[in-house]
Amino acid sequence: MHLYNLALANPRYAVILIGLPLLILIEALAPLIDSAGRWQHTAKNLVIGATYVATTAVLGLGIVWLVHATERNHWGLFNHVAVPLWIQVTLGVLVLDFADYWRHRADHTFRFLWRFHRLHHSDPLMEASTTIRNHPGAAITILAPRAILIPLLGLNPLVLLIHAPLALAGQLYHHSNLKLPAGLERVLGRVIVTPSQHFAHHAKIRKYSDSQFGVVLILWDRLFGTLVEAPERTTTPMGVRGYDDAASQTIPGMLASVFEKKKPALAPVSLEAGVPE
């Protein structure tokens, strides 16, 4: 029960329970792209999201146990090298974000991982609720880098308490369907991932969907050449080719999509027409 209470105390749940409803409300008042049946679409995302969040809560017990076991047993680099706490925390948050970048790239590189990740990408309208539109099975790969790095580096519990809500808040922001001042987005886009950058990652066009892998910082995309100039958002088709039919967008269809073998969703698409082949 002690670990359970610690897991629930993670501030990421406050971000979900407060930040997500607030963004959904703002999107309803001032959406960048409006669409028919938007509330039904959001509701389905939230149902799928509830299964994903519940899975991460259960697996999160293991992460919490690992954090405390690491601290108790003095595992990892920072437990054997004298480094000020503020440097440990700063480096720890940066390393976890760096790992998330490569984990995200792996989701697009390996077909087995893509099968779980494509539910997130099959959303035809990127909005705040898309953030938690993940297959429950994807929770394993999302949490895996943390499970490896916590004992390896001897990450302080404070690192997780900062990184988890920060990463979630960043994802809620860059998935949002909001009308934002262009000047503000340009300034923020020099440091963090913004909606005007990330929406390209959700395009049906391979050139764009294989870019913008950053979770919080846009730095990694700049360093590793995966930041591309985004097209016009309002005219760019979004989702995954082969998974945009009505049946695939139902809750059972979304959950079952991980087992389906449709026409390869990662196949190259035509760039001349700006739409999939």
CB atoms inside a 10 Å sphere around CB 223 = 12
**pLDDT band at residue 263, thresholds of 50, 70 and 90?**
low
Strand partners, 31: 178
Q: For residue 46, what pLDDT is reported?
A: 97
Asked if 155 contacts 78 with a C-beta cutoff of 8 angstroms, the reply is: yes
Q: For residue 212, what pLDDT is reported?
A: 97
Which of 50 and 17 is assigned the larger pLDDT? 50
Which of 111 and 7 is assigned the larger pLDDT? 111
Name residues whose C-beta falls within 8 Å of residue 240's C-beta, 6 or more positions apart in sequence.
118, 121, 122, 204, 265
- What digits encode the pLDDT tens for the residues 79-107? 999 999 999 999 999 999 999 999 999 99
- What digits encode the pLDDT tens for the residues 238-257? 999 999 899 999 999 999 99
- What digits encode the pLDDT tens for the residues 10-26? 788 889 989 999 999 99
Q: Whole-model pTM?
A: 0.90
